[in-house]
A and B are shown apart, each in its own frame.
Chain A
Amino acid sequence: MPEFSVIVGPQHPALKEPESFTFWVDGDDVVRTEVRIGYAHRGIEKAAESRTYIQNIPLIERICGICNVAHTICYTQNVEYLYGREIPRRAEFIRTIIEELNRIHSHLLWIGIAGHEIGFDTLLMYVWRDREVVMDLIEDMTGNRVSTALMTIGGVTRDISPELVTKLRKGLDLLEERTKYYEKVVSRESTVLSRVKGIGILTREEAIKHCAVGPTLRASGVKSDVRAEDAYAAHDEVPFEVITSDTCDLFGRVVVRVYETIEAIRQVRYCLDHIPSGPVRIRLPNTPPRGESVSRVEAPRGEDIHYVRSDGTDRPARYKVRAPTLGNLAALVEMLTPKGDYRVRVADIPIVLAGIDPCMCCMDRTARFIEPSKDREWVWTWNQLKKYAKARR
């Protein structure tokens, strides 16, 4: 049978950056994959050079909607490193609380999406209903559902009140109960298991070789987490367990994210119990001293790393951002490459793509099918491709 090329994207196959994938298929088997990104390159790094450090906070926050907290923490602490100043402990705790709430919302969002991609929409509906609890908590805490606008250079902009702490505790109890239920669902429900076990294989060696990050790396049995290695904010004090799985497939990625959600709930609870009193920000001069700095944060999707260089003016001379999805792209191509007995089918593409949790913009997507030998091509919408995927299984 002649090879086909199946083009998925650029009107994005999964979360965040719209990417264009070309899958070379032989029948129902994917033979090789090419990836092309850059469709959402907005020139943020260049734009950051023309704005002051304070003006850059809202800009950096808009790198990614879902993990905006990770990016803003990374940015503000990077600038604080330039000053060589520590921020008040209470602010560090508030940063940790909002960061973990953000992780809960991001992971629950992903579990819903994963359910949707495997044709288990009931899971999507339930998870997303419960995700509203954490969205409301974030709104109560910051005034916004998504872009929190809580970080500032030298601390945070809002304090948390005792009433809010009570509210947070109530919400966390509900979230914990529900997440434990989903843990049961994803580890026992055959609808899930038959679609995630043995799919999207990324061995430990491959994950290390391709420098994968975050839950993708941890699901391949590598114990690596920035919160443990390079403890920022209050993570040096808040106890938590680095969740890993050695199944090296999509099942592992689902399990890691579910347990990480439970772990995040515990971390927020610890922070609420142990948060010290005091100010929530210090005032810093507008211009940091000359120098350069590297800052790292464990975003919901993995290691997020920022680099800043200051030339002694009120604007950064260079600002570099590496979001975790780029780190997982090479690993993703590896997951979609068949080797030995491991086959990749067209029907597996949606869930494997979603498996690294690339940031999702909910766009309509199409796939173009080309048969080069017959000069024939046709278009399927993403829904048609998914319908095909579901019928195939």
Chain B
Amino acid sequence: MSLNKEEKLVSEIRELLGDRVLDAKVQRLRSIFVTVRAQDYKESIREVAEKYGITHVSTITGADSGQTIDVMPHLSCAGVKITFKAAIPKTFAEIETLTDVFPGAVMYEREVHDLLGVKFKGHPNLARLVLSDDWPGDVYPLRKEYKVVRPEPIR
């Protein structure tokens, strides 16, 4: 399998974003990962989206990496999935919203906010999406410190 197309895209993105790219790699055929700093997150994505005419964000994944939370929007660019990655500190989990670049990101940001407690600055409405209305405000189930308690069997 030749990964020329993906490698070319990675080098083009490196060139476009310069030293804002912390890491960029080809994961497999038609999927690449680009890591940027949290403060460059939105501008980098906007520039890449404008250059390649990207309009589709498939989803936004949030992942707990210990001290930080990774925010990962998955963009579709001519058949290649570009996953951006920005790490934000858990104690101050805030990042800029993508909703003005991709209006379709509204639901996905609400979901990440609900489950991992990431605040998206500038989001039109960060109301609860998947958790129930009476869920405690500072408990985020997808963070690692949240442990699932297994119910005891009834004897």
Contact = CB atoms under 8 A, between A and B. Distances in A.
Contacts of A320: 59, 61-63
Interface stretch (A163-171, A292-300, A365-373): A292-300
Contact of B141 (A37, A43, A296): A43
A211 B57 contact: yes
B103 A209 contact: yes
A37 B146 CA distance: 22
B104 A209 contact: yes
A293 B107 contact: no
A307 interface: yes
B28 A293 contact: yes
Interface string B76-109: 1001010100000000000000000011111110
B123 interface: no
Contact of A208 (B31, B55, B59, B79): B55
A14 to B, nearest CB: 17
B56 A208 contact: yes
B106 to A, nearest CB: 6
B28 A230 contact: no
A63 interface: no
A229 B56 CA distance: 13
A224 B102 CA distance: 17
Interface residues of A, number: 36
Contacts of B22: none
Interface stretch (B12-20, B40-48, B129-137): B129-137
A309 B103 CA distance: 27
A258 to B, nearest CB: 25
B107 A296 contact: no
B75 to A, nearest CB: 10
Nearest to B82: A294
A209 B55 CA distance: 7
A211 B59 CA distance: 9
Nearest to A208: B55
B72 interface: yes
B107 A329 contact: yes
B63 A326 contact: no
B103 to A, nearest CB: 5
B35 to A, nearest CB: 11
Q: How large is the interface on B (under 10, 10 to 19, 20 to 34, 35 or more residues)?
A: 35 or more
B31 A327 contact: no
B58 interface: yes
B27 A292 contact: yes
Interface in A247-277: none
B31 A38 contact: no
Contacts of A307: 61, 63, 72, 74, 83
Contacts of B119: none
Contact of B148 (A47, A293, A317, A326): A47
A296 to B, nearest CB: 7
A318 B81 contact: no
Contact of B31 (A43, A210, A211, A293): A293
B104 A210 contact: yes
A322 interface: yes
Contacts of B132: 38
Interface string B105-149: 111100100010000000000001111100000000110001010
A50 B107 contact: no
A79 to B, nearest CB: 12
Given A294-B81, A307-B74, A326-B107, A318 B130 contact: no
A318 B64 contact: yes
Contact of B27 (A209, A224, A294, A322): A294
A183 to B, nearest CB: 29
21 contacts: A37-B129, A43-B141, A46-B141, A46-B146, A46-B148, A208-B55, A211-B102, A224-B56, A229-B30, A292-B33, A293-B31, A294-B74, A305-B81, A307-B74, A318-B61, A318-B63, A320-B59, A322-B59, A326-B108, A327-B59, A330-B104
> Which 5 residue pairs of A and B lie closest in terms of their CB atoms, listed nearest first?
A211-B104, A322-B59, A38-B130, A229-B79, A318-B63
Interface of A: 36-38, 41, 43, 45-47, 50, 81, 84, 208-212, 224, 229-230, 291-294, 296, 303, 305, 307, 309, 317-318, 320, 322, 326-327, 329-330
Given A294-B81, A320-B63, 9 more contacts: A37-B130, A38-B132, A211-B56, A211-B105, A230-B79, A317-B63, A318-B63, A320-B62, A327-B58
